[in-house]
Chains A and B, each alone.
Chain A
Amino acid sequence: DIQMTQSPSSLSASVGDRVTITCQASQDISDFLNWYQQKPGKAPELLIYDASNLERGVPSRFSGSGSGTHFTFTISSLQPEDFGTYYCQQYDFLPYTFGQGTRLESK
């Protein structure tokens, strides 16, 4: 299986901060990489697909980049509703695999 490693595992930030999360794949996955946000007690929500495409209805402060094995997810100006856990997921190879998650907390 493809191993997806996110960093950091947790992050404290303030409203207005620029936040960056990275995801490393154990082998080349081209751009078959998605990002999800999960809030406590809720299902994950798709934010970014194919590494850099913004899902419909998702605010433009969210963005993604990268290809191959190294990917980056950025929130340009953190808003109060953005706290939660973020996951990357590859789907270049079956089975799909997720990163371990990055918990974004208020500083």
Chain B
Amino acid sequence: QVQLQESGPGLLKPSETLSLTCTVSGGSIRSYYWSWIRQPPGKGLEWIGYIYYSGTTNHNPSLKSRVTISVDMSRNQFSLNLRSVTAADTAIYYCAREYGDARHDYGGIIDYWGQGTMVTVSS
């Protein structure tokens, strides 16, 4: 059974960089897409971006160029960096696994999720 676990600081100040790591256990990071999704308190879900095990990435343009997603296959981990955070970035951050339909060259079906980690941005 694949399990994902997020780790990282829960409190940041405005303008700092959010850095989260997701550790994958019970399966290899190879051959899947690995993504980050966030949910502001009491609100809906926003896809942040994914990384393929080969290193190919894609992210939500709404976050402009603040996002970097990386993978460490030797540790079965992938990471999120979100620069210049503001209060609007306060949310529960989930890491997740995606796989795709053969009709696309990316993922999209999100079948495993981490438990989520709350990140608060406040001065």
Contacts and interface: CB of A to CB of B under 8 A. Distances in A.
Nearest to B110: A46
Interface string B61-73: 1100000000000
- Chain B contact patch, size range: 20 to 34
Contacts, number: 58
B49 to A, nearest CB: 8
A58 to B, nearest CB: 11
Contacts of A91: 101, 104, 106-109
Contacts of A36: 110
A91 B111 CA distance: 13
A99 B114 CA distance: 21
Contacts of A50: 101, 109
A43 B44 contact: no
A103 B114 CA distance: 22
10 contacts: A1-B62, A34-B109, A42-B115, A43-B116, A49-B111, A50-B109, A95-B47, A95-B59, A96-B108, A98-B47
